A and B are shown apart, each in its own frame.
Chain A
Amino acid sequence: MDDEPADLQRELARLHADSYGWALACCGRRAADAREVLQAAYLKVLDGRARFGGRASFRTWLFGVIRRTAAEERRRDALRRLRLIRLDDAPEPADPGAGAAEGVEQSDEASRLVAVLARLPRRQREVLDLVFYHDMSVAEAADVMGVGVGSARQHYERGKARLRALLEPS
């Protein structure tokens, strides 16, 4: 893909809904955080701080940028909680446990899934989200997560088994 700003914006527009869904997944389904992360990721792409090298698909690469941006944001929040850094004009960081309530209205089925996903380790949650929500292959998910395919497959299998057990009607 050409790196012209117009092309980039067109690609971002095409993938915007997907990107927002992925940003929500990376931010524990907190809508405000997801918007912040997504905007920061878009700015990185548009001002050239993140450059598409063409090694993977644009979507895979963009999801990787969003994931890294969310990770940076988490680290910054952790430092704020430890009172090691201060953000100018920013409210106190939200409690990560109070996640989904702030997001969009969810049906019982969706909110149950979100609650159950929150109990899985991050890597398992990510690979399941990429495969089931975004219809990616495990290899594409591995690309986004920056891990090997074997490792991603292991996270996928374990996560799926755990998710299934947790979703089982009691």
Chain B
Amino acid sequence: MSDAGERRIRDGFASLRREETAGVPPLAQMLAGRAPRRPRWRLTGVAWGGLAAAAVLVALAGHRLMESRVHARAAAEVARALGPFYGEWRSPTAALLETPGYEMLATIPALGPADSLIGSGPTTTGGRP
């Protein structure tokens, strides 16, 4: 910051301080009586209405939350009770997939022991029989 800019700020504050210090109210006058002169405040009808509305909203939200928790708990109970049967469940249309030979698609063919595969392979006589 330039000196001129800094000086301008300092001079401004010094001038403000000088003028405001001249108008300081006496301390004794401020402490006289010591009773807070501030008037008491109370909520208006608007504020009470707002608070009531907020309370209703909170109650509704709480009710919804409780309801959803009860539903979730009931669903968990049902799932736990039905748990063992879930593995046996079959789609009503599963029979349509049972085309001829579908068992072959569901099984892996066994190739037999490795020795039998090597024995039946081509001979090493230059490819001639």
Contact = CB atoms under 8 A, between A and B. Distances in A.
A80 to B, nearest CB: 8
Contacts of A40: 36, 38
A164 interface: yes
Main secondary structure of the interface of B (DSSP, over half): helix
B8 A167 contact: yes
A36 B30 CA distance: 9
B42 interface: yes
Contact of B12 (A43, A47, A104, A112): A112
Contacts of B37: 36, 39
A71 to B, nearest CB: 15
Interface in B80-104: none
A105 interface: yes
A44 B6 CA distance: 37
B46 A20 contact: no
Contacts of A17: 21, 24
A46 B27 CA distance: 13
Contacts of B8: 164, 167
B19 A84 contact: no
B17 A89 contact: no
A107 B15 contact: yes
26 contacts: A13-B27, A35-B25, A36-B37, A36-B38, A38-B30, A39-B31, A46-B34, A80-B41, A83-B46, A84-B43, A84-B44, A85-B41, A85-B42, A85-B47, A86-B42, A86-B44, A88-B40, A107-B19, A109-B11, A110-B15, A132-B9, A164-B5, A164-B6, A164-B9, A167-B5, A167-B12
